[in-house]
Structure 1
Amino acid sequence: MAKVVQLHGRTKRTFKVGFLPLEQFTLIALSSAIEPLRMANHLTGEALYDWQLIRPAIAPVTASGGTSMLPNACLNDVGDLDLIIVVAGVNVKDNIEPEILAWLKKRATSNVLMGGLCTGPLVLAQAGLLDGYNCSAHWECLAALQEDYPRIFCNNNLFTFDRDRITCTGGDVALHMMLHLVADHYGAPLANAISDMFVCDRIRDSQEPQRLRMENNVFASQPKLASAVQLMEANIEEPIDLVDVAAYSGVSRRQLERLFLNFLGITPSRFYLKVRLERAKQLLRQTTCSIVDISSICGFESTAH
């Protein structure tokens, strides 16, 4: 095919990527990461990128939606790679195989970039490969990462490039992460052309928040309410008295009650309880912490909740 995008002499050797999906991985994250690489090759007419699926054995691996895929290579047979990306999804802690952890640790010593999509960063964390790194992960597993791996610097960003680690929240955000990778390799014109081909109106910035809360419009017009919510979400283990929350937000306790009822339809105490219960649910799903420990972490004096 004729080249749609000219690289003007910037052609490099083929960049080789290995995708390692765990059982019950999220298909949207995997496909969103692969497609920009395919399109880069298509638009330039050159083999800029090569990718393959790798697993412990040549046997089907099943996505969370039930779709099965056959890997291209076994872990021990795959050749040199420039980037290894772990793709995980639901029940990640039940699908981490010791063989995968050992292989990741071994490969990490060979100057290869390591990445994780969706809940994939939990796998890298368990392998000890994110200690001292900044990390993005799906919001549902952030609490587990923060609790189980205190040496990892978790953030709420869409994706993070930190030295030789690449982590991403998952979903279609993987598309934007890979567009940034392509832009770094071959410049913004190619990344923009790929974005256009996928009818993507813009390339999202890495530091955009990952959760588009329905309350965001309310918070934009009610900064005191937003301040109260942020304080609650930052103080889960030792809940703050609502009188102090009100004072921090610059309102009286009665005004705080009115703000929550008028704009969120819930009392501040019930909202705070929901925040803590949601954190508890995340920890129950994503960690091996006991119910007693989770109760303490989430500010409950008993397990009755």
Structure 2
Amino acid sequence: MAVNTPSESPTLRIPAPEKPHLYTFVLLDRFTLMCFASAVDALRLANRVSGRELYRWRVLSEDGTAITCSAGITVAPDGPLDEAGREETVLVVGGTDVARATTPRIKTWLRREARRGIVMGGLCTAAWTLAASGLLDDRKATIHWDNQDAFAEAFPEIPLARGVYTIDGKRITTAGGTASIDLILHIIARDFGEDLAAIVADQLIYSAIRTDQDAQRLSIPTRIGVRHPRLAQVIRAMEQAIEEPVSPATLADQVGMSTRQLERLFRRYLDRSPKRYYMELRLGRARNLLMQTDMSIIEVALACGFTSPSHFSKCYRGHYGKTPYRERGTHG
């Protein structure tokens, strides 16, 4: 169990709780270090600035041995998976290749603990782990935007939110990165008041606390570096119609311009045709599905708007320099 030393000169006095709030972090193989560290440090700072041990935490791995994050740094856990206390909150920390890291033993343990009524959370990609364990049935969830396509294909019955975190009853999911900070600040505010959460945010040099309603990604104009409203509309429409692509003529008509005007707009701001930009979006999604799911090549092709596997393979090789089969083989 971690030792959390209160500050000698706290800036805010909080009445000591009867017992510290307990958190168990379960690290999956190749977990994302930022998600884990951000959550733990926010809890630590709550103790420090309050002068009280408000939170206590421990770190587990599947078998209790040291576990390596996606950045190559190894963390020594406090022990292996064991029975959590009924008042503990379990937060699973995922990272790269989460489907492989979600082992049968992990799933069995999560199901057993969930049956005891424990609050369960998945940080970063660990929403996948909760879903694969059957713990997100009839719940809404979120996951890192780069994994949303694969998650939606694997678990179509689970409503997927686009926010930085979700809390649905006793299930918590976050989008990864600094979303752990937003989640823990929300928990601190809920447990001990917004003043304490604001001070912790200041300590973290975190100037804008996001809620579960805030989107994960930058707006389209910010992402593409162009503030043109009709261009943003067209790109949004493309992103929402990957499986059944819409023609440039239809896209142009939807925003009140001619196909030629749309062509000029894309050439001027993005240095490519609408057709080429659309193709790159579809191929990008295809690559995510190839690397994050076990969908067949044909299923991936259909999910990304290609009716012919041979055409899909030709376009993919032209963009990425290797066929979908080779891509998956290399990744595996």
Q: TM-score, normalised by structure 1?
A: 0.94
Equivalent pairs: percent with the same residue? 35
Segments of 5+ residues of structure 1 without an aligned counterpart are none
Alignment partner, residue 4 of structure 1: 11
Q: Residue 83 of structure 1 aligns with which residue?
A: 89
SS of the aligned residue for 1:93 comes to helix
Which of 223, 228, 232 aligns to 1:226? It is 232
Alignment match, 1:148: 154
Q: CA–CA distance in 2 between the matches of 1:184 and 1:96?
A: 31
Alignment of 1:137 with 2:126, yes or no, is no
- Give the structure 2 partner of residue 291 of structure 1: 297
Q: Is the 8 A contact 1:116 1:168 kept in 2?
A: yes
Residue 243 of structure 1, CA deviation? 1.2
Aligned-partner residue type, residue 232 of structure 2 = A
Give me the whole-angstrom Cα distance separating, in 1, the residues matched to 2:229 and 2:40.
Answer: 40
The structure 2 residue matched to 1:269, chosen from 258, 268, 275, is 275
Letter in 1 for 2:203: M
Per-residue CA deviation, residues 133-168 of structure 1 (Å, 9 max, x unaligned), is 221111111011111101111122111122211111
Look up the match of 1:256: 262
Shift of 1:209: 2.2
Residue of 195, 214, 221 corresponding to 2:201: 195
* CA apart distance, 1:212: 2.7
Q: CA deviation at 1:218?
A: 6.3
What does 1:177-192 correspond to in 2, within 5 Å?
177-192=183-198
| Local SS of the residue matching 2:306 | coil
* Superposed CA offset, 1:110-153 (max 9, x none): 22211111111111110111122221111111011111101111
Q: Alpha carbons of 1:217 and 1:93: their partners in 2 closer, same or farther (altered >3 Å)?
A: closer
Cα distance change on mapping 1:36 and 1:12 into 2, 3 Å: farther
Q: Secondary structure at the match of 2:82?
A: helix
Query: In structure 2, the residue corresponding to 1:153 is in which secondary structure?
Result: coil
Distance 1:66 1:219 in 2: 33
Greater RCO structure (CA 8 Å; 6+ sep): 1
- The Cα shift of 1:10 comes to 7.6
CA-CA distance at 1:214 after TM superposition: 7.2
**4+ runs deviating over 6 angstroms:** 217-220
- Change in Cα spacing, 1:5 to 1:220, as seen in structure 2 (3 Å) is farther
Matched positions, count = 304
Shift of 1:202: 2.2
Equivalent residue, structure 1, for 2:318? none
Instruction: Indicate conservation of the 8 Å contact 1:18/1:81, yes or no.
Output: no
Which runs of no fewer than 5 residues in structure 2 stay unpaired? 1-7, 316-332
Q: Report the CA distance shift for 1:77/1:208 in structure 2 as closer, same or farther (over 3 A).
A: closer
**Match of 2:78?**
72
Contact 1:5 1:44 in 2 (8 A): yes
CA distance in 1: counterparts of 2:118 and 2:253, whole angstroms:
50
- Residue 307 of structure 2 corresponds to residue 282 of structure 1: no
Which has the larger displacement, 131-140 or 14-23? 131-140
- Over aligned residue pairs, what C-alpha RMSD do you find? 1.8
Name 2:62's counterpart in structure 1.
56
The residue number in structure 1 matching 2:134 is: 128
DSSP-derived class of the 1:24 partner: coil
